[in-house]
């Protein structure tokens, strides 16, 4: 494994090893660049993962204290855990379910297409689906997405059987086992899916793509990746010309070091990426790095979500097999007749008994709740993933008083549901209930959102520097050798699970960095 000197200013520093950072590291190493990959979490493996919901949560989740505000239900249900992302090598690709959907064409142009949604800070992306298509193709091949590249779909489990029958009975047309970055056949040195049922807890079979055991070891094999787990970046530093020069970080023993860099790429997931830029303020950049627009941390999006569970007279055993075992895409299409802008996907989801108790009714107790929990074997479940509206006031800000163990302000996450989000969720709950009632559900449970797994928009792309933080390549408008490499780049959220697009943007960003390097522009 490569080890580069702290003073080596020819390296590219990437902060975060998930879908964006892990992919970018591998792409850049294969282009001949030296990369230092800094990851806050520990290194785990398929051997250390456990099929145990609470154990895995403790092992993998980012549980550093955060605060919340706003009208969203999360502020009441999980006031100090607004997001459910990971602190581990591989980032949230260890936890993700594997759903790999492309954005739709109109979702890059929502300001134009939705023609004004009051209170929403909509903006068209500075790129098009056409520009991204070649990179989507590369990303789907990299991830081994089912139903692309002649890869067969996964076999559906019991949870999907219930969804399929209900969906087709209510008239939905496009219902299948999804486009999943989970092997239906052995491929790319990864096994086929064992249907373990613990996708969220780290895939012990390795059938699900994660940067942990694909991109990162392949980057290491080039001899050009210096992976440093358990390091916390505290500040991105710059010179008097406003060019990034490196990062200050703390290792697990609390020792502080500065790693010099020619380019710095931020891929810490949308809350921490914004927080890091804000915490990197200086006399030159008093409001935070790359924040001349004032948009760093703003326009935070987390998708309009919620879950619907149906209880049936006969067993389902929803927790057997892949968690996202199937999808209904009919509601994702552009359709302005439903009383809201944007669309949503309906994807199966399952919970084991421990998390069913924690999430089906947050803070629930008493006999009416345990009566529900006792029927966990007879439940089918689906998750709603819909486009939410960017709002300038929905923002990551630095807490005025509370600090973390390194003395830096913790983040506050503010989110007010937009009326469009509420209208979509209300409609989606009803349609989800229709699906399950059509196949005999005796009871429907509408479950409020879990802590957010999809976090986007806090350093958004914009054509004009005044509207956002980075350009169409993720390069910040203000600091030419500083890049945003995760879901923070999202101008708007789309209605699709974000990982595939994050990977796609990372592959494309690597090409851009190499080209700009060749032209000596960075």
Partner 1 sequence: MKRREFLQKSALVVAGAAAVASGVAVVGQADQQATKLKVLNDHQAQTLLKMARQIFPHDRLDDSCYMKVVEDLDSEAATKPQTAKILREGVASLDRTRNSKFVSLSSDDQVAALKKIESTPFFDKVHSTELVSLYNNHAVWKLMGYPGASYQIGGYLHHGFNDLHWLPDPPETASPKPV
55 touching partner 1, by CB under 8 A: yes
Q: How many residues bind partner 1 (CB under 8 A)?
A: 70
Report the SS3 class of residue 385: strand
176 touching partner 1, by CB under 8 A: yes
In the set 3, 7, 337, 367, which binds partner 1 (CB under 8 A)? 367
**Is the CB of residue 177 less than 8 Å from the CB of residue 156?**
yes
Q: Is 235 or 378 the residue whose CB approaches partner 1 more closely? A: 378
194 touching partner 1, by CB under 8 A: yes
The pair of structure tokens assigned to 238 is 């710059």
Q: Is 34 or 87 the residue whose CB approaches partner 1 more closely? A: 87
Q: Is 190 or 238 the residue whose CB approaches partner 1 more closely? A: 190
- Paired residues of 456 in beta bridges: 301
Diameter of the chain by CA atoms? 69
d(Cα 391, Cα 410) in Å, to the nearest integer? Answer: 22
In the set 33, 72, 78, 96, which binds partner 1 (CB under 8 A)? 78
- Which of these segments, 109-117, 174-182, 331-339, 384-392, binds partner 1 (CB under 8 A)? 174-182
d(Cα 25, Cα 216) in Å, to the nearest integer? Answer: 7
- Which of these segments, 215-223, 225-233, 320-328, 412-420, binds partner 1 (CB under 8 A)? 320-328
Residue 385 CB neighbours (<10 A): 30
The pair of structure tokens assigned to 358 is 């924690």
**Minimal distance in Å, beta carbon 506 to partner 1?**
30
- Paired residues of 40 in beta bridges: none
252 touching partner 1, by CB under 8 A: no
In the set 320, 338, 437, 480, which binds partner 1 (CB under 8 A)? 320
Of residues 92, 41, 23, the one with CA closest to residue 485: 23
In the set 12, 81, 180, 236, which binds partner 1 (CB under 8 A)? 81
In the set 14, 219, 264, 316, which binds partner 1 (CB under 8 A)? 316
The secondary structure of 66-90 as a DSSP string is -EEESSSTHHHH-TT--B--B-BTT
The 8-class DSSP code of residue 99 comes to B
Main-chain phi, psi angles of 8, to 5 degrees: -75, 100
In the set 71, 115, 185, 339, which binds partner 1 (CB under 8 A)? 185
In the set 30, 31, 52, 250, which binds partner 1 (CB under 8 A)? 52
Q: Which class for 1: exposed (0-12), middle (13-18), buried (19 or more C-beta within 10 A)?
A: exposed
Q: Is 200 or 340 the residue whose CB approaches partner 1 more closely? A: 200
**Minimal distance in Å, beta carbon 222 to partner 1?**
32
In the set 12, 40, 182, 193, which binds partner 1 (CB under 8 A)? 193
- Which of these segments, 29-37, 71-79, 395-403, 485-493, binds partner 1 (CB under 8 A)? 71-79
321 touching partner 1, by CB under 8 A: yes
Residues 322 to 351 in contact with partner 1, rule: CB under 8 A: 326
Residues 144 to 163 in contact with partner 1, rule: CB under 8 A: 152-158, 160-162
In the set 165, 258, 399, 512, which binds partner 1 (CB under 8 A)? 165
Q: Is 154 or 396 the residue whose CB approaches partner 1 more closely? A: 154
Main-chain phi, psi angles of 376, to 5 degrees: -60, -30
**Minimal distance in Å, beta carbon 290 to partner 1?**
31
**Minimal distance in Å, beta carbon 159 to partner 1?**
9
Report the SS3 class of residue 332: helix
In the set 30, 187, 248, 369, which binds partner 1 (CB under 8 A)? 369
**Minimal distance in Å, beta carbon 192 to partner 1?**
6
The secondary structure of 134-195 as a DSSP string is HHHHHHHHHHT-TTSTTPPPPPP-HHHHHHHHHHHHTT---EES--BSB-SS-BTTBPPP--
Residues 444 to 473 in contact with partner 1, rule: CB under 8 A: 451
352 touching partner 1, by CB under 8 A: yes
Unique residue bearing structure tokens 């509601």:
331
**Minimal distance in Å, beta carbon 204 to partner 1?**
5
Q: Is 101 or 244 the residue whose CB approaches partner 1 more closely? A: 101
Q: What sign has the CA pseudo-torsion 461, 464, 469, 472?
A: positive
**Minimal distance in Å, beta carbon 360 to partner 1?**
11
Q: Is 219 or 439 the residue whose CB approaches partner 1 more closely? A: 439
Residues 377 to 416 in contact with partner 1, rule: CB under 8 A: 377
The pair of structure tokens assigned to 461 is 């792309």
Of residues 55, 477, 498, 432, the one with CA closest to residue 269: 498
**Is the CB of residue 269 less than 8 Å from the CB of residue 22?**
no
In the set 315, 393, 405, 442, which binds partner 1 (CB under 8 A)? 315
Q: Is 57 or 383 the residue whose CB approaches partner 1 more closely? A: 57
Residues 196 to 225 in contact with partner 1, rule: CB under 8 A: 196-198, 204-205
For the chain, what's the residue count? 522
Spatial CB neighbours of 82, under 8 Å, sequence gap ≥ 6: 66, 68, 74, 75, 271, 413, 415, 451, 452
d(Cα 64, Cα 400) in Å, to the nearest integer? Answer: 17
d(Cα 519, Cα 99) in Å, to the nearest integer? Answer: 37
Residues engaged in binding partner 1 (CB under 8 A): 50-55, 57-58, 61, 63, 65, 76-81, 152-158, 160-162, 164-165, 175-177, 184-185, 192-198, 204-205, 314-317, 319-321, 326, 352-354, 356-358, 362-363, 365-367, 369-370, 373-374, 376-377, 439, 451
């Amino acid at each position: 494994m490569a080890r580069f000197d702290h003073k080596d200013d020819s390296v590219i520093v990437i902060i975060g090893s998930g879908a964006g950072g892990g992919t970018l590291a591998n792409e850049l190493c294969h282009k001949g660049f030296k990369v230092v990959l800094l990851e806050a979490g520990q290194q785990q493996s398929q051997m250390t993962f456990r099929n145990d919901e609470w154990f895995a949560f403790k092992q993998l989740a980012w549980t550093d204290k955060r605060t919340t505000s706003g009208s969203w239900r999360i502020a009441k249900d999980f006031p100090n855990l607004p997001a459910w992302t990971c602190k581990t090598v591989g980032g949230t690709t260890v936890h993700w379910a594997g759903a790999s959907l492309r954005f739709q064409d109109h979702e890059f142009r929502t300001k134009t297409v939705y023609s004004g949604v009051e209170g929403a800070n909509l903006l068209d992306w500075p790129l098009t689906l056409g520009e991204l298509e070649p990179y989507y193709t590369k990303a789907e091949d990299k991830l081994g997405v089912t139903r692309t590249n002649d890869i067969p779909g996964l076999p559906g489990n019991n949870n999907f059987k219930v969804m399929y029958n209900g969906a087709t009975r209510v008239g939905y047309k496009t219902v299948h086992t999804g486009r999943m970055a989970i092997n239906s056949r052995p491929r790319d040195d990864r096994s086929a899916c064992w249907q373990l049922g613990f996708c969220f807890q780290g895939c012990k079979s390795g059938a699900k793509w994660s940067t942990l055991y694909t991109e990162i070891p392949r980057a290491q094999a080039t001899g050009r990746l210096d992976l440093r787990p358990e390091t916390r970046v505290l500040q991105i530093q710059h010179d008097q010309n406003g060019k990034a020069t490196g990062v200050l970080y703390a290792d697990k023993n609390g020792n502080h070091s500065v790693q010099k860099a020619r380019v710095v790429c931020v891929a810490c997931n949308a809350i921490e990426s914004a927080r890091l830029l804000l915490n990197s303020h200086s006399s030159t950049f008093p409001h935070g790095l790359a924040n001349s627009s004032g948009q760093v941390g703003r326009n935070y999006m987390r998708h309009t979500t919620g879950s619907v569970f149906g209880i049936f007279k006969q067993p389902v055993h929803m927790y057997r097999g892949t968690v996202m075992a199937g999808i209904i895409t009919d509601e994702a299409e552009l359709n302005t007749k439903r009383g809201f802008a944007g669309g949503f996907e309906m994807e199966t989801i399952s919970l084991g008994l421990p998390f069913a108790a924690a999430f089906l009714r947050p803070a629930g107790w008493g006999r009416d709740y345990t009566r529900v929990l006792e029927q966990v074997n007879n439940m089918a479940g689906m998750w709603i993933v819909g486009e939410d509206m960017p709002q300038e006031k929905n923002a990551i800000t630095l807490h005025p008083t509370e600090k973390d163990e390194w003395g830096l302000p913790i983040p506050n996450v503010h989110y007010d549901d937009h009326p469009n989000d509420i209208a979509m969720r209300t409609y989606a709950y009803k349609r989800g209930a229709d699906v399950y009632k059509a196949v005999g559900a005796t009871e429907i449970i509408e479950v409020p959102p879990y802590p957010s797994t999809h976090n986007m928009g806090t350093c958004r792309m914009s054509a004009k520097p005044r509207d956002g933080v980075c350009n169409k390549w993720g390069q910040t408008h203000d600091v030419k050798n500083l890049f945003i490499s995760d879901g923070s780049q999202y101008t708007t959220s789309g209605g699709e699970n974000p990982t595939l697009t994050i990977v796609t943007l990372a592959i494309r960003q690597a090409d851009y960095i190499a080209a700009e390097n060749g032209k000596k522009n960075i």
